[in-house]
Amino acid sequence: MSDTNDVDPERSVSGEYDLDAPPEKVWRAMTVPAIRERWLPGVVLSNPEPTETSVGRKVRYRMRDKDDSFGDSVVTFEVRPNGGGGATLRILHELRESRIVAPTPGPANRNRPPQMRAA
Amino acid sequence: MVANDVFKALADPTRRAIFEKLAEGGMNATALRDGMEISQPAVSQHLAVLRAAGLVREQRLGRFVNYEVDPNGVAGIGRWLERYRAYWPERVNDLRNVLKEMDQ
């Protein structure tokens, strides 16, 4: 479930956004908690630490629905240069089976230790 | 077919009203009946149909049974998608403003 190949389009929301800022700057906004907090408040995250990080390219957080009616979901931010000096941000938000143990091991039920932030 | 079950389950106006009430928040059968002219057995029957269609699920809390929209059912997922399709563009708008205010 960790690769975009396995994404279930009926249980996910995705979008690509062109941003007028270099990828490194967008990356900092994704990963430095004090900056991230200003556009993606920690209250929506079930853990403010990313569950997966590929430095400079991809970061993944677990999210918890604010009224907790859907259980956990996972959001992946991918940042890449857009060729014009800015960045393209891809957001993939996947709903995980709530309160049901996934049949196959995957990020949704893996208890990783928090990773070091690189930004 | 699942979609057909869902359609049938919601085609009945009383059942649809029950489902819409539960969509606002989970509750037990007594609270559900409140304000509706419907007998307890009829409510139970409607809930059974909604459960069979995967729209509603029950949760036992001690002696009480709570009913709620099944978050993994078609309608639950539909609500989730609707919420987050609107949510991310708003977050990205905030992100754009943050990027403007950030130092290089």
Average model confidence (pLDDT) across chain B: 90
Question: How far is the C-alpha of B15 from the C-alpha of B24, rounded, in Å?
Answer: 15
Q: A11 and B77 in contact by Cβ < 8 A? A: yes
Does residue A113 lie in a domain region?
Answer: no
Domain range list for chain B:
2-101
Tell me if the domain spanning B2-101 has CATH number 1.10.10.10. yes
Does residue A87 lie in a domain region?
Answer: yes
Chain B residue closest in CA terms to A35: B98
Does residue A109 lie in a domain region?
Answer: no
Quickly count: other Cβ atoms within 10 Å of residue A67's Cβ: 8
Question: How far is the C-alpha of B15 from the C-alpha of A72, rounded, in Å?
Answer: 29
A-B Cβ pairs (cutoff 8 Å, strict): 64
Which one is predicted more confidently, A64 or A12? A12
Any chain A CB within 8 A of the CB of B91? yes
Any chain B CB within 8 A of the CB of A25? yes
Q: Contacts of residue A87 in chain B, CB cutoff 8 Å?
A: none
Run of H or E residues at A21:
none
Chain B residue closest in CA terms to A25: B104
Q: A71 and B95 in contact by Cβ < 8 A? A: no
What is the CATH number for A36?
3.30.530.20
- What is the domain extent for residue A15? 4-98
Q: Contacts of residue A38 in chain B, CB cutoff 8 Å?
A: 94, 98
Q: Contacts of residue A70 in chain B, CB cutoff 8 Å?
A: 71, 76, 80
Does residue A111 lie in a domain region?
Answer: no
Does residue A117 lie in a domain region?
Answer: no
**Interval A15-63: pLDDT, tens:** 999 999 999 999 999 999 999 999 999 888 888 899 999 999 999 999 9
Does residue A42 lie in a domain region?
Answer: yes
Question: Do the Cβ atoms of A26 and A17 come closer than 8 Å?
Answer: no
Does residue A71 lie in a domain region?
Answer: yes
**Interval B55-99: pLDDT, tens:** 999 999 888 899 999 887 888 888 889 889 999 999 999 999 999
Does residue A103 lie in a domain region?
Answer: no
- Chain B residues 55-74 with CB within 8 Å of chain A: 68-69, 71-72
Residue A18: partners with Cβ closer than 8 Å, 6 or more residues away: A82, A86, A87, A88, A89
- Residue-level pLDDT at A114: 45
Cα torsion at A30, A70, A51, B94 (round to 10°)?
0
Maximum separation of any 2 CA atoms in chain A, in Å: 44
Give the ipTM. 0.76
Question: How far is the C-alpha of A83 from the C-alpha of B82, rounded, in Å?
Answer: 32
Chain B residue closest in CA terms to A34: B98
